[in-house]
Amino acid sequence: MPEKDQVKPLASPATHLRSDDDQFLPPPAKLRLHRNKYIMCSGCFAALLLILAVIGIVLGFTVLHIKTPDLKIDKLSFSNTTSNGGIIIVASVFVRNPNVASFKYSKATMMIYYHGAMIGEGETPGGEAKAKDTMTMNVTVEIKAEEMDEGLSLMEDLKSGGLNISSYMEIPGRVKIIGFIKKMFEVKLECSFTYNAKTQTIEKEDCDERVKISD
């Protein structure tokens, strides 16, 4: 028997136009299509700007925000008199760096005062406090014999156990983040102490820290 011819269904006409066929659309539909594309692109661009702005704000208040380094005098120690009749004071100083980049500083200077008169001065070489770290440096100050002979009773106070002295310390340095964000600091620390020579501890300490910041 002859086989019956199979009837193939006709393909359904295309109902979607390609993006490059919008020229065949009527003007109102073409305008609506272009407006939808513009709104979509504008929305994506605005969302991208918003994300970048949020990231910038977060970085500005966290990682890229440069904070002030802190100084703190932890302890003082007095050595025996030197060959010329003076004494040596060694101050242990904490340098705390709260930043995500290192704090590089040049030499630090410390001056010791007794009854309002400067009796000694010392320096320590420059160094570096690493990111989010606290380092300790020692500043050695020599008090010469002639400074103690001008009617001062430093040795008597030291032997009695209670010595009231004050200090001034200055340390310049800088913090640089990502190579172009940097701040220059000049940290100044003024302190007054009551030092107990018998226990070799600071019984009372009152400090005032001031910081000068520049770009």
Nearest to 82 by CA among 160, 140, 153, 150: 140
Residue 147 has pLDDT above 70, yes or no: no
Confidence of residue 3 (pLDDT cuts 50, 70, 90): low
In this predicted structure, what is the pLDDT of residue 161? 76
How far is residue 112's CA from residue 87's CA, in Å, rounded to a whole number? 12
Residue 83 has pLDDT above 70, yes or no: no
Tens-place pLDDT, residues 16-71: 545 455 555 566 666 666 677 778 888 787 777 777 766 665 555 555 678 889 99
What is the share, in percent, of the chain residues with pLDDT greater than 70? 72
Tens-place pLDDT, residues 59-68: 555 556 788 8
In this predicted structure, what is the pLDDT of residue 192? 94
How far is residue 52's CA from residue 61's CA, in Å, rounded to a whole number? 14
Q: What are the phi and psi torsion angles at 39 (to 5°)?
A: -65, -40
In this predicted structure, what is the pLDDT of residue 159? 77
Tens-place pLDDT, residues 175-189: 987 766 788 999 999
Tens-place pLDDT, residues 189-214: 999 989 888 888 888 899 999 999 88
Q: What are the phi and psi torsion angles at 33 (to 5°)?
A: -65, -45
The residues that bridge with 184 in the sheet, in sequence order, are 174, 214
Write down the pTM of the prediction: 0.67
Q: Once rounded to an integer, what is the mean pLDDT over residues 8-16?
A: 50
Written in H, E and C, the secondary structure of the chain is CCCCCCCCCCCCCCCCCCHHHHHHCCHHHHHHHHHHHHHHHHHHHHHHHHHHHHHHHHHHHCCCCCCCCEEEEEEEEECCCCCCCCEEEEEEEEEEECCCCCEEECCEEEEEEECCEEEEEEEECCEEECCCEEEEEEEEEEECHHHHCCCCCHHHHHHHCEEEEEEEEEEEEEEEECCCEEEEEEEEEEEEEEEECCCCEEEEEEEEEEEEEEC
CB atoms within 10 A of CB 92: 14
Residue 15 has pLDDT above 70, yes or no: no
Fold of 70-214: Immunoglobulin-like (2.60.40)
Tens-place pLDDT, residues 106-146: 888 999 998 888 888 999 888 899 989 999 999 999 887 77
In this predicted structure, what is the pLDDT of residue 14? 47
